A and B are shown apart, each in its own frame.
Chain A
Amino acid sequence: MESEAKISREMMAGLQGVVPSTLATCSKDGMANVTYISQVFYVDETHVALSCQFMNKTWHNLQENPKAVVIITCPATFTLWQLRLRYLEAQTQGPVFEEMDMQLAAIASLHGVPEGLYKIRSALICKVEQVKCLYHPHSA
């Protein structure tokens, strides 16, 4: 089910990082890259920020092709949403970056990751272009 390209209140549960999100990007020669991502951060109802930590290939792909797709999951119900994204810019300072850095430390603790390993390099700001609910337990 496709809906307005906005992040709803219900979807916020999928942005907590409890269930890691999956992100796919694509190089200009058409080879996909898919990876788990620690954090999809709510910026506003039409923008998210992705935490760039080790994602060298993801970063490279987004420089040459800004189209990405991420799947987020509600940890309580396993409702799945697919967000189609367009990469806009990388931020290495400012309120979004600082807040993501703090939240990432909490996510690392949640997943038992050694302190310092989950260090954000930049916040990749993306516009949400499409939202699709892939699965909802009450409409399955």
Chain B
Amino acid sequence: MILTDRFIELINTPSAALWASNCNQELEPEMVRLLGTKVEPDREHILFFLPLKYGEGLLHNFTHTDKLTFLLAIVLTNESYQLKGSYLSHRPCNSAEVEFQKEYMTGLSTAISEYQGLPGESAFNAYYHQPSVAVRMLVREAYEQTPKIGAGEKVL
């Protein structure tokens, strides 16, 4: 599946809230708020960043499953999509990726402050933690998740 220009634009939007989710062998779900995502040039793979503080359960689950779900939601408009696919690998983030995460979280915190009237600095402190891990994912399907009639339908 190839991510369209629209998806790439949304993923790169500063007000995009990003989450990843999977489950353990007992079918108990785990989810983690992410610190940013990069779409690879082939448009089929993404690399997302998560703080170890919140992501250990999700990472542990990769020892028995490669099924992975990614949520993209725009704070301002509620437009949202789920991408479903496969976990490929993970590794510690490098310094450039940590800098990228800071920029992403600064943009998101500003959006939270401006559009929702909430304390953006508090949001930054809650979500941004180091060390972090980069997870590579192959995207296979995309689903509409915006709260409206048609939510849940496959779009890509």
Binding site for B on A (CB under 8 A): 18-19, 22, 24-26, 28, 30-36, 38, 53-57, 65, 67-69, 71, 73, 75-80, 84, 111, 113, 117-118, 134-135, 137, 140
**Could you say which interface size class chain B belongs to?**
35 or more
Q: Are A32 and B148 in contact (CB under 8 A)?
A: no
B108 within 8 A of partner (CB): no
Q: Are A38 and B71 in contact (CB under 8 A)?
A: no
B156 within 8 A of partner (CB): no
Q: Are B29 and A26 in contact (CB under 8 A)?
A: yes
- The interface residues of chain B lying within 8 Å CB-to-CB of A75 are 118
Q: Are B31 and A69 in contact (CB under 8 A)?
A: yes
> Known interface pairs A32-B23, A135-B126. Does A118 touch B119 (Cβ–Cβ under 8 Å)?
no
- The interface residues of chain B lying within 8 Å CB-to-CB of A69 are 28-31
Q: Which of B19, B29, B73, B152 contacts A68 (CB 8 A)?
A: B29
The distance from the CB of A22 to the nearest CB of chain B, in whole angstroms, is 6
Q: Which of A30, A53, A118, A134 has the most CB of B within 10 A?
A: A30
Q: Are A36 and B80 in contact (CB under 8 A)?
A: yes
The distance from the CB of B36 to the nearest CB of chain A, in whole angstroms, is 17
A-B contact pairs, 11 of them (CB 8 A): A18-B116, A19-B116, A24-B30, A26-B27, A26-B29, A31-B67, A35-B82, A57-B143, A78-B118, A117-B147, A137-B122
Query: What number of residue pairs across chains A and B have CB atoms under 8 A from each other?
Result: 109
The distance from the CB of B50 to the nearest CB of chain A, in whole angstroms, is 13
B78 within 8 A of partner (CB): yes
- The interface residues of chain A lying within 8 Å CB-to-CB of B54 are 134
> Known interface pairs A35-B145, A78-B125. Does A54 touch B71 (Cβ–Cβ under 8 Å)?
no
- The interface residues of chain A lying within 8 Å CB-to-CB of B65 are 30
What residue in chain B is nearest A110 (Cβ atoms)?
A: B116
Q: Are A33 and B125 in contact (CB under 8 A)?
A: no
Q: Are A57 and B152 in contact (CB under 8 A)?
A: yes
Q: Are A34 and B31 in contact (CB under 8 A)?
A: yes
Q: Which of A34, A56, A113 contacts B69 (CB 8 A)?
A: A34
Q: Are B125 and A32 in contact (CB under 8 A)?
A: no
> Known interface pairs A67-B29, A117-B148. Does A24 touch B21 (Cβ–Cβ under 8 Å)?
yes
- The interface residues of chain B lying within 8 Å CB-to-CB of A84 are 28
- The interface residues of chain A lying within 8 Å CB-to-CB of B67 are 30-32
